[in-house]
Structure 1
């Protein structure tokens, strides 16, 4: 399922951000590069508003900031990896190192829920976190994600 949406150009393997707002801006640039018709400020605002409702740092070491847009027809992913870790106000109070930022189309709630469920299963695989953290390129990360997804 995820192979339709996750591409090497969706991945930043060396996030430079040191805090949550910076990482939102940094990953937002990937979303905009993949979908140039999107309004940068509008997307950022939607993501930050969603995050203010409740942290998306709900899985140890991983955050899933996401929002809805009526300007897209299919989900757009930006994936980032931070060696240093980013304070994400996570439920476990620890920094996150892997961030899946997703913009979902407004008119497909079913796809939204299916992707979030698929990601939850993926993140619960014991090898997921370490496997992604040891990869050095976007292509390696995508291949790892898709291989682990295939094993579900």
Structure 2
């Protein structure tokens, strides 16, 4: 259930809400150990500095990318904000970007070596290319493409 969790949300006022908003649900015992509360960047990005064992930290970015039907300018604005966030995230031991990135990254793992694994899905769309470029620039990998998963577990 949801009891025992605290929700942190970043989005638009109710009257403007349509297809955006991002949140973290964090167990209350973990909330008490956070060095600072999760930061809402905009209605599509949040960041969290999570303490791990042995004085290590994970930086977690919650992301909800613009849908494929959005204009190129809207998609680019999201990725510009993500780039800025990735460039300014404090030094951490682990960096995780999670959420709904509305992207199909394709299967060309030879071109995107170290970013895209051998188990990508379908053709690459505009959001997929933006995601691949962002991952390459910030030394991130698309972890679910490195494991053999059923198609329904790779895409929603």
Give the structure with the higher percent strand.
2
Greater relative contact order, per chain length (Cα 8 Å cut-off, separation 6+): 1
TM-score by shorter chain over 0.5: no
Larger Rg: 2
TM-score, reference length from structure 2:
0.29
TM-score, reference length from structure 1:
0.29
